A and B are shown apart, each in its own frame.
Chain A
Amino acid sequence: MSSMGIEAIGAATSGLSSLQLPGAPTVGATDTALTAGQAQAPTGPQGPSGDFGNLLIKSLDSVEAMGDKASNLSVQAATGDLNAIHDYTIAATEAQVATQLTVAVRNKAVDAFNEIMRMSV
């Protein structure tokens, strides 16, 4: 799942986060351009993807698990096997909020990527 898109997004967000946290050791290409004095070789998109790409994939897995749980409980509700109504409603709420969060993170990442791509060199 480590596609080029996610890696590129990871590289872009890493570059942005370095602007907010100047003390943090970052390896993004834009960061090395800013700190011109240091001999810090850009490691390319592979380095930052370990952070953001893996985080995104992990959160996608957990969102999928929440969705599975909610749909299992909805089947139980339909078949009359549901012990407690709130079990389903809470699982559905969790899945909903987690999906919204993933979409928000994706939108932010795409925004950051587009921002970098618009940058005039």
Chain B
Amino acid sequence: MGDAFEMLRIANTGLGAHQTWLDSLGGNIANVNTVRSTSQSAFQASFVVFAPRADGGVDVAGVAHSSAQGRLVSMPDSPLADANGYVRAPDIDMASEMSQLIMAQRGYQSSVQVTKTAQDTYNSALSIGEGR
């Protein structure tokens, strides 16, 4: 199919997709304590959706968001608390975010390994016929 550097190009799409995932997870974790008043919608955690590319590799098909409802948490001391002492916290499962963080990191590292293998492969192809 594609050109000589197809393996590198595909690894590049994997790296890009996993970087997007890592960015999104970073945003979710950073906002885990972002509370809003009950009159507003909660911070919505983003979930990156991957899809295969027609020409090989992976692409970010879109970003899904968690519920705007969030969770109602009793924080009477918060300046954002309503009359009943509630604030709206984001619906983020920290354990899941941390697990996904590891998965995304492993995925990124795997794509880096693909680039290393690709380079090794190209180098060994270049060495064909050498050393007479």
Contacts and interface: CB of A to CB of B under 8 A. Distances in A.
A joins B in a complex? yes
Nearest to B121: A97
A93 B129 contact: no
A101 B3 CA distance: 14
Contact of A97 (B5, B16, B112): B5
14 contacts: A84-B15, A86-B12, A86-B111, A86-B112, A87-B12, A87-B16, A89-B115, A90-B8, A90-B9, A90-B15, A90-B115, A100-B122, A101-B4, A101-B126
A84 B129 contact: no
B42 interface: no
B122 A97 contact: yes
B11 interface: yes
Contacts of B129: 108
Interface in A52-84: 84
Interface in B102-132: 111-112, 115, 118-119, 122-123, 126, 129
A97 B4 CA distance: 10
Contacts, number: 40
The bracket for how many chain B residues form the interface is 10 to 19
Nearest to A87: B12
Contact of A93 (B4, B8, B111): B8
Interface string B8-35: 1101100110010000000000000000
A87 B12 CA distance: 7
A89 B115 CA distance: 10
Interface string A98-114: 10110010001000000
Given A90-B8, A93-B115, A84 B126 contact: no
A86 B19 contact: yes
B126 to A, nearest CB: 5
Nearest to A89: B115
Given A90-B115, A97-B122, A104-B126, A84 B16 contact: yes
Nearest to A94: B5
